[in-house]
Amino acid sequence: MAPSGTGQPGTPASGARRAHAAGDPHRSLRERVAATHWRRRLAARRPLDHGYRLVVGVLGGLVVAFGLVTIPLPGPGWLTVIAGLFLLATEFRWAERLLHFTRRHVRAWTDWLGRQRAWVRVAVALATAAFVYGVLVVVLHVMGVPDWVPGWVPLWR
């Protein structure tokens, strides 16, 4: 019989591992995806597994890059970056750590902002709106105002 803790059937370590795989809410996203039936079947076929990881890496990287480019523009830039990290975190440990780092700092920022007085929150909102407006003006100046914008909109042509 195998020594206790080796992971062999009937040992305590295998029972703990089974309990861990059964639905522990503290498992990482990557571990939860890896435990699914379809992902285990894909991992058993090495060329398909490598191809799948390559596709996830490329798609996740493109989503993150698109999000980074659109951060200064009006719209969901940061949300897109986080979605790309979420996609990458299903397969890559480094992306999972980066996603955790991002979530922790966003939570700290929102907690800090929530503890501030109303005038500080208003000042942050106004500074954010001014920054977004400035970026929009620069983008419209560089690219030109689109023809579909009505003439009554207060922009230069």
CA nearest neighbour of 53 among 66, 63, 65, 43: 43
Instruction: Evaluate if residue 7 carries a pLDDT over 50.
Output: no
* Per-residue confidence band for 14, with pLDDT thresholds at 50, 70 and 90: very low
Q: What is the three-class DSSP state of 111?
A: helix
Average pLDDT score over residue span 16-23: 48
9 backbone dihedrals φ, ψ, rounded to 5°:
-55, 135
Task: Tell me which range, 40-44, 55-59, 141-145, 148-152, is most confidently predicted by mean pLDDT.
Answer: 55-59
pLDDT score at 23: 55
Instruction: Evaluate if residue 57 carries a pLDDT over 90.
Output: yes
Q: What is the three-class DSSP state of 154?
A: coil
d(CA 124, CA 112): 12
d(CA 136, CA 152): 18
Instruction: Evaluate if residue 143 carries a pLDDT over 90.
Output: no
Which residues, other chains included, contact 136 with Cβ-Cβ below 8 Å and sequence gap of 6+? Answer: 73, 74
The whole-model pTM stands at: 0.62
- The domain segmentation of the chain, as residue ranges, is 26-115, 117-157
* Per-residue confidence band for 31, with pLDDT thresholds at 50, 70 and 90: confident
Q: Do residues 63 and 120 make contact, with C-beta atoms less than 8 angstroms apart?
A: no
Instruction: Evaluate if residue 117 carries a pLDDT over 80.
Output: yes
